[in-house]
Structure formats: structure tokens, C-alpha cells
Structure 1
Amino acid sequence: MLHVHAVDASNSFAYRKHLDSYFCLRHEVYVNERGWHELRRLDGREIDAFDTSDAIHLLGIQPGRGVVAGSRLVPTLRPHLMSEVFPQLAHDRVPRRHDIFEWTRIFVARDLREPGRPCQAAGVIYCGILEFCIQRYIRSLTIVCEAYWFERLASIGWNPRQLGPSLQRDGMTIIGLMVDMSPAALVATQDFYRMTEPVLWAEGMITRPA
């Protein structure tokens, strides 16, 4: 069973190998597959200015294999992508509160994607994000994303709201969103992906890091 492991400054030492795999997979997805060549690094790890000690990395770990999916949260009271690079997406009024985090860098290993149908591994990451945010009293997430994400997130119950105008960049339409992190959103997402069990790894679960 794929579970989501929340890794921050307090437990990153125990996940050193998993974090290395996570950054390598990010490089594979965003640089080699998506062609974001400005992110290319000689060490093959996609690490940017917001991968600081404030970041929370949500690792999708499959027993016997390791990291196969992931995502990142950054507190909006600290520098983050929308505040530092894309404030115009929120009319230069970027939401910043202790209970609002920014969500970026979601990915799933290529062989786990399911073209033409909802990707179950992505669903695990979505549910893990919701479970984590609800546990930590994080009420909302802001997102810098391509425009198609609005309908995708609406379909799984995240109630997206666009914060400002769109932006054309590198052939993409970029928007800024805010989404709900609520028990209702979790139930809607679980129903969409037909999940009945928690996915956020916790002490006492049978599954351990691979």
C-alpha cells in the first residue's frame, strides 16, 4: 500500500535516502519530461529556492520500492513561489496567514500514471495532503498552476477560487488559486478515488519506510 510520509526539519535525518530519491524524481519529471530546463542541475536533483527548512515534503512511499510520488507545502508566512515570483496572480495581495500554506511540486512516477483515467497514486497524494492539513489546522492552500488545474481540483471537491488575473508564460496559461483543506474536501476526494482508509503514515501502521 502506498502511504504518504510527511517530512520536515524535525525528521528529515531519518528520511535522507528517501529525500534524495524524491529530488531525483522531481528532476526526472519536471526537467526531463516537462522540459523545464532552467531547473536542470548537474547532480540530477530538482531543488529550488523554496526547499528550505520551512518546507514540508510529502513523500509517497511504496514498500519495497521507495519514493514513487510526492509534493511540497511551504508556509505562506515565509517566502514562497507566489509571494516572491508571481504576486501578480493575486493582484499583489498574496494571502499570508499561519493557517495558509502554498502547495507545489506534485508528481507521480511515470509507470504509475493512468492516462485517460484518474491516477490512483495521485489520489493518494491528494488525500495525504488533506489529512496532513486537517491534522495541522491548515485551512487553505494557495497554488501557482496551469489553468487546467481549476477544473481538476473542482472535480475532487477542493473548491478552488482564482485569486487574480492569468499570466501567459512559456506557452502556458498560469493562474493563482486558493483551495479548501476541510473534512468535506477529504470525504469528496476519498469518494472520487474510492478510498476508505487513511493514507498519511503514522506510528503504529504496519507499513514502514522502504
Structure 2
Amino acid sequence: MLPTIHSIKGAGVNHALRAMFAARKQVFVDGLGWDIPVLAGKYEIDQFDTEGASYLVLTDEDGNHRASARLLPTDSPHILADLFPQLSPQPIPVGSTIREITRFCIDPSLEKTERRLARNQLVTALVEHALERGIAAYTAVATNSWFRQISRFGWKCSALGPCLTLGGEALVAMKIEIDRDTPGALSPKGIYCSTSYDVAMFEGAA
């Protein structure tokens, strides 16, 4: 059964988004030590959390955060173009059919097996979302170790330039092409999930 992507209105929006921003603070600030803005000592929100941003949020049966990703339009300010353009010596892929994946976040409260499942479900949701919305490719900035892991998933993933050490981290810019063959390419690696789960889709939510 394919994942259900739906919109949540009212209080559900506030609950899921607050949980997502709190998880981002726990992962990226508390866990990884990133020097980025924190709102009210609890929520990680930066200059890219604007009305143009979209969010995919995996939830449990009670609507609590399990995993999430932020998608930024590439024909507007985004992380690769505005903060790390040196990672792509070639022209950065931009356009209405390209989104940038940022803040790929697995909830730190999950156990190891659940974290891997949530990761696979979030990757699946990103693919299904792209196919539904006519998104032909994603770009992203990742650590070199995370890039190596992502590039082995089975999909069309390539570096846009060499690995560079910036701010003490080895970083790579990448492009992931999405088409109708992508689910089948991910399946042999066990990445594509055929199990049912809930994904909340928020557009213009910030």
C-alpha cells in the first residue's frame, strides 16, 4: 500500500509543526552542535522557513513526529545556492521542477530499528511526493558520509562537485533524479517501503 500524503488543518498543523521544529533543535543543535537560530530555546527555525517552504512530516497514530524533511523551491533562495555555492562548480540545478531537500530529520526518541524504518519511509514519501507533484529532481547538501550512504540507495544520485571541508565538516552537494523507475530502483535495497504510514504535507506553513 502506498503512503498517504494529506493535509492537516487547524490544531493538527500546529502540533505537528511544533513537534518537527522541536525535533530539529534536538537533532541539529543539541546532537550535531550546529550554530543556528533557536526560537524560545526549543524550536530550530531559520531564514529558509518561509511561506515558500514545504514540509513532509511522518507521524505516528497520535500525530506525533517520527521523521520530516523541508523542501525549498530552487528558483528562490535556498541553502545550496545561497550558503554553499562553492560545492557546485557547474551551474546549480534550479527550476520549477527541482526542490532542495533540507533538514532531513529522524526523531531522536526512536529506537535504532524504528529510526531505519522511519528513514526508509521518509525517502519513500519524498519519491511519491515528487511523482505526484511533477518534481523531476531534488538537490541537497550533505556530509560526505551521508552522501555515500544516500548514493547507495539505488536511485540516480550524483555529486555536483568535489567534497569540500567547510566549517569543519566534509560536505557534498548532490542531485537526485526522480522518475517512474525510482521506486523499483530503491526496492532491491529495501529502501522503498510498501507498508502503510501517514505523512502530513504542509505548504506555506511557516
TM-score, length of structure 2 as denominator length: 0.84
1:109, distance to aligned residue in structure 2 (A): 1.4
Distance 1:197 1:190, change over 3 A: farther
Distance 1:168 1:201, change over 3 A: closer
1:194, distance to aligned residue in structure 2 (A): 6.4
Compare relative contact order (CA 8 Å, sep 6+) and give the higher one, 1 or 2: 2
CA distance in 1, matches of 2:110, 2:167: 27
Q: 2:35 aligns with which of 23, 34, 37?
A: 37
Q: 1:75 aligns to what?
A: 73
Matched, 1:106 2:104: yes
SS class of match (2:130): helix
Pairing 1:182-193 to 2, within 5 Å after superposition: 182-191=179-188, 192-193=190-191
Task: Give the conservation status (yes or no) of the 8 Å contact 2:137–2:178.
Answer: yes
Contiguous gaps of at least 5 residues in structure 2: 201-206
Matched, 1:151 2:148: yes
Letter in 1 for 2:64: G
Task: Give the conservation status (yes or no) of the 8 Å contact 1:147–1:174.
Answer: yes
Q: 1:23 aligns with which of 16, 21, 34?
A: 21
Task: Give the conservation status (yes or no) of the 8 Å contact 1:71–1:106.
Answer: yes
Letter in 1 for 2:96: H
Q: 2:49 aligns to what?
A: 51
Matched, 1:123 2:123: no
CA distance in 2, matches of 1:105, 1:6: 20
Structure 1, residues 133-166: CA drift from partner, whole Å, max 9, x if none? Answer: 1100101001111112232122222221111232
Task: Give the conservation status (yes or no) of the 8 Å contact 2:139–2:173.
Answer: yes
Task: Give the conservation status (yes or no) of the 8 Å contact 1:131–1:200.
Answer: no
CA distance in 1, matches of 2:103, 2:140: 10
Task: Give the conservation status (yes or no) of the 8 Å contact 1:146–1:174.
Answer: yes
Aligned residues: percent identity?
A: 25
Structure 1, residues 102-156: CA drift from partner, whole Å, max 9, x if none? Answer: 00101111232427x9801111100001000110010100111111223212222
Letter in 2 for 1:77: D
Matched, 1:66 2:38: no
Matched, 1:90 2:88: yes
1:6, distance to aligned residue in structure 2 (A): 6.1
